[in-house]
Amino acid sequence: MSTTKRALGVVASALLLLTIASAPAFGQADASDRPFRPVTAEMLSRPPASDWLQYRRTYDGQGFSPLAKVTKANVGNLAPIWEFATGLTKGHEVVPIVHDGVLVISASYNVFFGLDARSGKFLWKYERELPDKALAVVCCDVVNRGGVFYGDNVYFGTIDAHVVALNAKTGKIVWDTKVADYSDGIGITGAPLVVKGNIITGMTGGEFGARGRLIALNAESGKIVWTTYTIPGPGEPGNDTWGGDETWKRGGGTTWTTGVYDEKQNLIFWPTGNPGPWNGSVRPGKNIGTSSIIAFDGDTGAIKAQFQFVPHDLWDYDNIAQPMLIDITKGGKKLEGLFETHKDGYSYMVERTNFGSGTVDNMNFIYGEPFMPVTVWKGLDATGHPIYDAAKDPTKGELVDVCPSFLGGSNYMVPSYDASRKTAFITANLWCETIKALPPEPWKPYAAYVQAEFHMHVMPGVEGAGGVVKAIDVNTGKTRWTHSMPDANWGGLLSTAGGLVFGGGTDTRELFALDADTGRVLWKYRASSGLAAAPITYEIDGQQYVCYVVGFGGAIPIWSGEIKDKYYQNTPQGGAAIVFALKK
């Protein structure tokens, strides 16, 4: 029996674990009996306040809900009303989606569930037979961060590099399209976007010699419409920044998290990952297309602009935190910006309009402000690029100590933005590392293409495992408040019009709601496992709900080494969706 079959064998029994589930009130239909309206482009553009249709709810990536029935005054009365155990013990990083009472979550190994959003009633399950060789090129656990509703369907990517459309009410397969070969180190773990009737997906593989790309498929037919590579080939702008023997072919720059869509400009902004291998001595030059934000034409996928945050990255400083489209005021002038936190310990703002000439590193830098002590380089120059410190170069054969670590700083954990407060809320870990490059080796299929040694440690002087939530003034990039945690913070955030920021910890398993103005803890709940995902909120028949999916795993137990050994030996695993509402 394959690894996947053994893992999925427990799922059937999990369907009985609708613990503490509450049925709908008398006379109220559950989702299986309610009408399911097809999701239109207009709904994705201006979603109903009651729904959460896509990864960050809105195209701008802000992860904010206008619902306000749960407030600072009453959030202490928030209580669990149902829980659903997935029966799987690997990492759960999904941001759930909800429409017309149907809640869709993903678990480990590309198992998807459709649940009644009010009661937790099981509606359907999708599970996939994953080839063992596809599992061999998964760098950071068998996770999936979710799907998107469009029309009558829900769409998502798979570990074996397919995109799948399911009927959202029944879970039946509508189409299933292979978009790449997992033998090239490629899989899909991020949630897609829907743009101009196309499903837009990224891909993984930066640690296995993949070449980054963004892929669009027709939502109705599943046919591939366009594919755009992030790393330029011969004759394309920036290919001359890749030295060595055709290093661009295996150069990373993968698109493994989720981008955003600027409808006004018809541009898809998507973050890209580290160059490969980590040993930068074999790929001299800036390595354009990696550790960047890239603007793709919404119709054709053509690259229109980009900003490279870390040229010639030597530390695995992917630019893969969720970008957010945010308009700010600087010097009395309104600017249309793109905000991102980064593994390198900085919060950045770049301009998403008024591009310079060409398409290589042509986006205007607005600011870069550290949200933690950064020792890896000496600061940023006037263009927003690092001022490198030769003493922190890991390719010289000796271990160098740098802050942040390659896990961050910030990582994939999604931030949130409250426009009324002009405040971005970010998660981070105050982690450092020692790192050095190892001797170069040729690329081999199904083998890691990293060539580095590293050892994690919490930043000196920090108590506990170094997790924080920070509130950032988006006009300046400066920190407004910090919520320090005793454990690591691998959970994303949700902010609401009720003045709240929802998040959670990993080792303590403690879910929380913070005051958006002060960072003060207003509510806590001890879950069955740690948080490695982000919560959402939705409304049905006038009742506001908050949904978390917990499940310790992901990159933490695989990559964090000494930190894991010290802090996470007793953290229970096992995925579960937990839904909360105010006590009546």
d(CA 328, CA 339): 10
Closest CA to 271 of 238, 319, 199: 319
Q: How far apart are CA 370 and CA 367, in angstroms?
A: 10
3-state secondary structure 497-559: CCCEEEEECCCCCEEEEEECCCCCEEEEEECCCCCCCCCEEEEECCEEEEEEEECCCCHHHHH
Residue 565 appears among annotated catalytic residues: no
3-state SS, 373-420, equals: CCCCEEEECCCCCEEECHHHCHHHCCCEEECCECCECCCCCCCEEECC
The CA dihedral of 578, 579, 582, 584, to the nearest 10 degrees, is: -100
What does the DSSP 8-state code read for residue 192?
Answer: P
Whether the CB-CB separation of 259 and 268 falls below 8 Å is answered with yes
Tell me how far apart the alpha carbons of residues 121 and 56 are, in angstroms, rounded to a whole number.
Answer: 24
C-alpha distance from residue 300 to each of 142, 250, 513 (Å): 31, 24, 41
Residue with tokens 């509130």: 471
- Could you give the CA distance from residue 528 to residue 551 in angstroms, rounded to a whole number? 8
Torsion, CA 241, CA 243, CA 246, CA 250, rounded to 10: -70
Give the Cα-Cα-Cα angle 241, 246, 249 (nearest 5 degrees): 95
CA-CA distances (angstroms) from residue 387 to 310, 342, 374? 10, 16, 12
Q: Is 7 helix (H, G, I), strand (E, B) or coil?
A: helix
Q: What whole-number distance in Å separates Cα of residue 553 and Cα of residue 83? A: 19
* Count of residues making up the chain: 584
HSE-up (13 A, CA, CB side) for residue 576? 23
Contact 559, 316 (CB under 8 A): no
- Residue 138, both tokens: 């998964």
**What is the DSSP track for 427-460?**
EEE-EEEEEEE-------TTS----EEEEEEEPT
Look at residue 6 and give its three-state secondary structure: helix
Q: Per the residue annotation, which of 60, 141, 316, 418 is the catalytic one?
A: 316
DSSP SS3 for 62:
coil
Q: Within its chain, how far is the Cα of 374 from the centroid? A: 23
Active-site annotation, residues? 316
